[in-house]
Structure 1
Amino acid sequence: MKSTLDQIEDIKKNGYTIDFGSTFNYAFENYKKIALYSGLIILIFSVIMAVLAMGLAVTFYGVAAISKDFILNLENHKLSYLEQLLSIGAVSLFAALLAPFGAGFLKMADSADKDEEFNVSTMFTYYKAPYFAQLFIMALIIGLVSNAISAVIESFGIILLGNAISIFISFFTFIAIPLVVFGNLNAVDAIKGSIIVVTKNPLLIFALFITGIIGSVVGIFGCCIGVLFTIVFNTSVTYATYYSIFTEEEQIDVIDSIGQSDLE
């Protein structure tokens, strides 16, 4: 069996094909297995984060921090260049620290796919070596690049373009996390590998990428809290896309090796 890097090299040379319908069905079946449990985890985590954020705000700014006027003034406050740099660094660092937690949903999806038991501890699987360092570095790189570019563009008043750039970067790093946790790649190789895979079949991957996003937010239309139970759909799409690509590559390798053996 070829390594993930070898498979990526083959994809770079020869491309690959996957079927949208089968990949979507794969993702949907996986999502049904993890939707309820993951939704409850997200709900609990959101409440904890909201309480912590409110506590920190009150600690630093006093009780006035929870007032509507304070929030409006904070939103209208124009950041200096130094404050913008600190903000970019802080947001990117926070995202990097949460990256292994987000990857935990992929582990949950993998366990469900293999009919293995999963629980709350599954969410913290990747807060250990060698995964934590690579996920942290990868998320920090992507966060710094994405937030910095968006901040520069938005400083000219082009907010929509800044948001588009962030989505664009997310698209090209669509399968970077599974390449780390399932493909055992380091942060830089995972980012480069994701870009190679996406650029070899951009329209189909974009269709899956957008489907994952739409499926994740659809819960907000029925009941706002419903989004907590649909947001993980994007994880299932990412998981299904990764395995549809790389499982197929492995199957091709096996068929080729059998053919070579028969010839010998």
Structure 2
Amino acid sequence: MKSTLNQIEDIKNNGYSLDFSNVFNHAFENYKKIALYAGLILLVISIFSFFLGGGILISLYGAEHFNKQFFENLQNEQPAGTTILIYTLAATFVTAITSPFTAGFLKMADCADKDEAFNFSTVFTYYKAPYFSRLFTATLLIGLTGGLISVAFNFIGIRIIDSIFAILISLFTSLTVPLIIFGNLDIIEAIKSSIVIVSKQPVVIALLFIVAAIGSVIGFIGCCIGVVFTIPITYSVKYAIYSAILEIENPDSIDSIGQSDSE
């Protein structure tokens, strides 16, 4: 089997074909295998995070601070530039620290695709070296790039371009995480390779993610709690896209990653 970098070099030179219906059918079949388990995990984690976050805020400010007037002011208030910057940095850090968790759903999709057993601990697979540092740093770099561009355009009052840049950055770096966990690439190589891969078929890949997003929103329409059972389709689609383009190396041990880095 060719290494991931060799496969990417072929893609750079020759491109690749990606059939929308085949990828989506693969994603949907795989989604049905993980939907219940992944949804229950997301539900538990969401409830835990809600009470933990609420408890921290109440302990810091007091329950009386969060009254009707507070929420009305929050809704009407236009955030200052400094507030936007702080919010962006905080959101980026939270996204980066939870990136190994979301990567775990790709691992779950991989196990389901290969009819291998998976359980609750599967989503925490990548909270260990060297995965954690790579995922955290890559997500932080991407988030900071998008966030600082967003803040800059907010400062000058051009929010439409801000949104366009955010969508494009998200799209072209969308395969960074699977390239790290399945392709054994380092941070910079994973980001660069994601851009190369997506740039060859941006329309098809964008349409697949749009359909996945619509599928996730169905959970809000039916029942707010139901969204945790529809969100996993986004991970299934991302996995299906990756597996349709590249062979998954899936090293047997962490040591094999260290060996590939040293070569």
TM-score by length of 2: 0.88
Alpha-carbon separation, structure 2, partners of 1:160 and 1:141: 22
**1:260 corresponds to which residue?**
none
**2:145 corresponds to which residue?**
145
**2:237 corresponds to which residue?**
237
CA displacement 1:85-130 (0-9 Å, x = unmatched): 3332222111110000000100110111111111111110000011
**1:11 corresponds to which residue?**
11
Q: Which deviates the most, 70-79 or 228-237?
A: 70-79
Alpha-carbon separation, structure 1, partners of 2:120 and 2:184: 23
**1:199 corresponds to which residue?**
199
**1:121 corresponds to which residue?**
121
The alpha carbon displacement at 1:80 in A equals 5.0
**1:219 corresponds to which residue?**
219
The alpha carbon displacement at 1:70 in A equals 1.9
The alpha carbon displacement at 1:75 in A equals 4.8
The alpha carbon displacement at 1:78 in A equals 5.0
The alpha carbon displacement at 1:160 in A equals 4.4
The alpha carbon displacement at 1:77 in A equals 4.7
Alpha-carbon separation, structure 1, partners of 2:164 and 2:224: 24
**1:66 corresponds to which residue?**
66
**2:228 corresponds to which residue?**
228
**1:261 corresponds to which residue?**
none
- Does the CA-based 8 Å contact 2:38-2:105 persist in structure 1? yes
Alpha-carbon separation, structure 1, partners of 2:5 and 2:28: 28
The alpha carbon displacement at 1:174 in A equals 1.5
Alpha-carbon separation, structure 1, partners of 2:66 and 2:35: 32
**Identical-pair percentage:** 51
Alpha-carbon separation, structure 1, partners of 2:217 and 2:100: 22
- Does the CA-based 8 Å contact 2:81-2:155 persist in structure 1? no
Larger radius of gyration: 1
Q: Which deviates the most, 65-74 or 199-208?
A: 65-74
The alpha carbon displacement at 1:81 in A equals 4.7
- Does the CA-based 8 Å contact 1:18-1:245 persist in structure 2? yes
Within 5 Å, give how 1:30-45 maps onto structure 2: 30-45=30-45
- Does the CA-based 8 Å contact 1:134-1:180 persist in structure 2? yes
- Does the CA-based 8 Å contact 2:18-2:201 persist in structure 1? no
Q: 1:75 to 1:160 in 2, by over 3 A?
A: farther
How many residues align structurally? 248
Q: 1:59 to 1:76 in 2, by over 3 A?
A: farther
Indicate yes or no: 2:69 matched with 1:89. no
Alpha-carbon separation, structure 2, partners of 1:220 and 1:76: 25
Q: 1:64 to 1:145 in 2, by over 3 A?
A: farther
Alpha-carbon separation, structure 2, partners of 1:119 and 1:72: 42
- Does the CA-based 8 Å contact 1:153-1:159 persist in structure 2? yes
Which ranges of 4 or more aligned residues in structure 1 deviate by more than 6 Å?
Answer: none
TM-score by length of 1: 0.88
> Root-mean-square deviation (CA), in Å?
1.8
Q: 1:191 to 1:72 in 2, by over 3 A?
A: farther
CA displacement 1:138-165 (0-9 Å, x = unmatched): 1101111111112222334444443332
Alpha-carbon separation, structure 1, partners of 2:62 and 2:75: 17
CA displacement 1:162-219 (0-9 Å, x = unmatched): 3332222111112111001000111111111110001011121122121221122222
